[in-house]
Amino acid sequence: MAKTGLIIALDTQDPLEAEKWALATDNVGHMIKLGMEFTYACGLDAVRTLARGRRLFLDLKLHDIPNTVSAAIKSLESVRPAMLTIHTLGGYEMIQAARKAIDESFPPAVKPLLLGVTVLTSMDEQGLNEIGIRNSPMEEVVCLGKMAIQAGVDGLVCSPVEIARLRQELGKEPKLVVPGIRMKNAETHDQKRVMSPAEAHRAGADWVVVGRPITRAADPAEAAKAIVREMQDHS
Ligand code: C5P
């Protein structure tokens, strides 16, 4: 079974705290993830500093008209992320524009993977209903996922619960990046569609994204190691 990588979500507004978590887990995690919280609070220079010598998943979940998303991606070239995210709900044309922006503005050797966020892992059926979507989370993820792959994403961000179905529908090629990871019987926080690291690995995740179970642990390095160990034990 292919290896599943661990991405550590450094969700904080404090660059020193982010650096502390990154240093503690440098030899365990395979990539760091910085999102809106860190980027808006600390700025892109702080993102560049933290990403130096590390692989960066820049999770800004871009969602706007095609022209704006395209321009935003072009302006991220100097940050050199290994992966970046857009919302698939932005639609086919927005995704195509994002693909084109990456292909035109990043040198081939440092081209980031373009990932489409499908349905946030904090949403359940009721949450979708409230925004007028009658599909179940699974149906909606499959619908958005198929459309996004056709429009040009390299992979998808989905909940662990949808991995098996997406593999069935889309094959092995698309990268599947999976948040909503919790150890058995642990607190789920605001995540609704969760699985354990071993379950996500077995289902076929390329990467799992883990934040609070590592960063809020008494010993983040140990917590990260336990997750990697659990995935290795189930290979
Ligand atoms: O702390 P926790 O493990 O829940 O963190 C999960 C991370 O993955 C957060 O940074 C969150 O923004 C991100 N994420 C998510 N669900 C998605 C996409 C990204 O939880 N669909």
Asked whether 176 lines ligand 1 (CB < 6 A), one says no
**Which helix (H) or strand (E) segment is 104 a member of?**
helix 92-105
State how far the alpha carbon of 41 is from the alpha carbons of 5, 14, 35, 83, 106, in Å.
27, 8, 10, 20, 26
**pLDDT for 131:** 96
**Which helix (H) or strand (E) segment is 73 a member of?**
helix 66-74
Q: Return contacts of 47-50, CB within 8 angstroms, 24+ apart.
A: 47/79, 48/78, 48/79, 49/15, 50/10, 50/15, 50/18, 50/19, 50/22
**pLDDT for 216:** 95
Place of tokens 């709900």: 89
Q: Catalytic one among 20, 61, 192, 225?
A: 61
Using most ligand atoms within 8 A of CB, pick from 121, 187, 194, 214 the residue to mutate for ligand 1: 121
Count Cβ atoms below 10 Å from residue 129 Cβ, excluding itself. Answer: 13
Of 42, 36, 83, nearest to 61 by C-alpha is 36
**pLDDT for 235:** 66
Tokens of residue 140, six digits: 């909606």
Of 155, 192, 215, nearest to 7 by C-alpha is 215
Question: What phi, psi does 219 have (nearest 5°)?
Answer: -130, 90
Distance CA 55, CA 108 (A): 16
Distance CA 145, CA 156 (A): 7
**pLDDT for 88:** 98
For residue 110, give the amino acid letter. Answer: V
Distance 112 CA to ligand 1 centre (A): 19
> Coil, strand or helix: which one is 39?
helix
For residue 168, give the amino acid letter. Answer: Q
| This prediction's pTM | 0.94
Asked whether 197 lines ligand 1 (CB < 6 A), one says no
**pLDDT for 185:** 78
| DSSP output for 167-198 | HHHH-S-SEEEE--B--TT---TT--S-B-HH
- How far does CA 82 lie from the centroid of its chain? 11
All structural domains of the chain: 5-233 (3.20.20.70)
Tell me the pLDDT of the chain (235 aa) as tens digits.
678 999 999 999 999 999 999 999 999 999 999 999 999 999 999 999 999 999 999 999 999 999 999 999 999 999 999 999 999 999 999 999 999 999 999 999 999 999 999 999 888 999 999 999 999 999 999 999 999 999 999 999 999 899 999 999 999 999 999 999 998 878 888 878 889 999 999 999 999 999 999 999 999 999 999 999 999 887 6
Tokens of residue 158, six digits: 């989905």
Distance 92 CA to ligand 1 centre (A): 24
Tokens of residue 116, six digits: 């489409």
Tokens of residue 183, six digits: 């150890």
Nearest CA to ligand 1 atom 20: 179
Distance CA 67, CA 36 (A): 20
Distance CA 98, CA 202 (A): 31
Asked whether 216 lines ligand 1 (CB < 6 A), one says no
